[in-house]
Amino acid sequence: MKHARHSFILGRPWQRRQWLQASAAFTLVATVLIWSAQDLQLSLRELIKGLPWMSDFVSRMLPPNWDFLGRLVRPVIETVHLAIWGALFAIVLALPLCFLAARNLSPNPLVFHAVRQVFNAARGINEIIFALIFVAAVGLGPFAGVLALSVHGAGMLGKFFAEAIEEVDPGPVEALRATGASALQVIVFAVLPQALPAWIAATLYRIEVNLRAATILGMVGAGGIGFELYSSLRLFQYEDTAMCVIVILAMVMTADYFSSRLRARILAR
């Protein structure tokens, strides 16, 4: 019995050709990793040498300036607003296109691939780049941050929404089509009831991602607590920086907790 169990786990003994192929693949991967490590100048020695400087920087941040906490209330609220409105506008941008980006609903392959590439472009460009573009367009402030999060989020949500549509049970879809239902009726009565829970879960996750991203967008003038973080660093007020970091961590942990609970409750239904 023991021998049979081991045979089941390990499978049949490898032939010499398979061992040679595995060894060649391992050697190739190891060579690429070593080359990339050298190109990135990875060095444990340099890290150890830099530990005193890291310790010095952290020591300058301690103790945090708790009096600075009162100034962070408005930026924190603004950051939350950025995250929520960025997600809402992203939904508005993604919804009309996600049906065209789903293989089972797209009218033809050309439209499918075109819309998918639009989502890839929106998702592939970092929020900071979009923020810089929109700051140049609408000026400094949170509106530029909302627009940046909206465009980038549309690429992410569009992909998630389309994949959720592709994973629906085809039975109800085919049944409605067989009765002569229109494309809109198929979407409303067969696709949406199945895809909606995954859509809500993806939207909650996007709000959580927006909250993290919004803390950085302030560094390029797009509002939120990131502006206070960047300002404190520029003015060498490291105790204020520490307070900003603590508040950001608290925001992210709180959002992660509630978002995870809500997603688990939605997907369980």
Same domain for 36 and 73, yes or no, is no
Q: Render pLDDT for 106-133 as a digit per residue (tens, 0 to 9).
A: 778 898 899 899 999 998 888 888 888 8
Higher pLDDT, 173 or 12: 173
- C-alpha span between 72 and 224 (Å, rounded): 9
Q: Render pLDDT for 13-34 as a digit per residue (tens, 0 to 9).
A: 667 777 888 888 899 999 999 8
Residue 56 lies in a domain: no
Same domain for 173 and 240, yes or no, is yes
Mean pLDDT over 219-243 rounds to 82
Q: What is the pLDDT of residue 12?
A: 59
Same domain for 162 and 89, yes or no, is yes
Q: What is the pLDDT of residue 157?
A: 92
Range of the domain at 202: 68-268
Same domain for 11 and 117, yes or no, is no
Residue 55 lies in a domain: no
Same domain for 84 and 11, yes or no, is no
Q: What angle do CA 6, 10, 13 make, to 5 degrees?
A: 110
Residue 48 lies in a domain: no
Q: What is the pLDDT of residue 151?
A: 93
The tokens describing 129, both together, are: 């780049």
- C-alpha span between 78 and 141 (Å, rounded): 10
Q: What is the mean pLDDT of the chain?
A: 83
pTM of the complete model: 0.77
Q: How many domains does the structure of the chain reveal?
A: 2
Residue 61 lies in a domain: no
CATH number for the domain spanning 166: value is 1.10.3720.10
User: Which of 7-11, 71-75, 89-93 is predicted least confidently?
Assistant: 7-11
Of 197, 200, 244, which Cα lies nearest the Cα of 218?
244
Q: What is the pLDDT of residue 117?
A: 92
Same domain for 93 and 166, yes or no, is yes
Same domain for 105 and 189, yes or no, is yes
Mean pLDDT over 237-253 rounds to 87
Same domain for 117 and 15, yes or no, is no
Residue 32 lies in a domain: yes
Residue type, 152: H
Burial (Cβ within 10 Å: 0-12, 13-18, ≥19) of residue 237? middle
Residue 6 lies in a domain: yes
Same domain for 29 and 75, yes or no, is no
User: Does position 4 have pLDDT exceeding 70, yes or no?
Assistant: no
Same domain for 11 and 90, yes or no, is no
Residue 62 lies in a domain: no
Q: Render pLDDT for 57-71 as a digit per residue (tens, 0 to 9).
A: 888 888 888 888 888
Q: What angle do CA 145, 148, 153 make, to 5 degrees?
A: 120
Residue 59 lies in a domain: no
Q: Give the list of residues 6+ apart from residue 94 with CB closer than 8 angstroms, or none.
A: 119, 153, 154, 155, 157, 158, 161
- C-alpha span between 223 and 198 (Å, rounded): 31
> Considering the chain, what percentage of its residues have pLDDT values greater than 90?
13
User: Does position 177 have pLDDT exceeding 70, yes or no?
Assistant: yes
Q: Render pLDDT for 33-55 as a digit per residue (tens, 0 to 9).
A: 989 988 888 888 888 888 888 88
- Percentages (nearest 5) of helix, strand, coil residues in the chain: 85, 0, 15
The answer to whether 79 touches 215, Cβ cutoff 8 Å, is yes
- Using the 8-state DSSP alphabet, how is residue 13 labeled? P
Same domain for 18 and 122, yes or no, is no
Same domain for 18 and 72, yes or no, is no
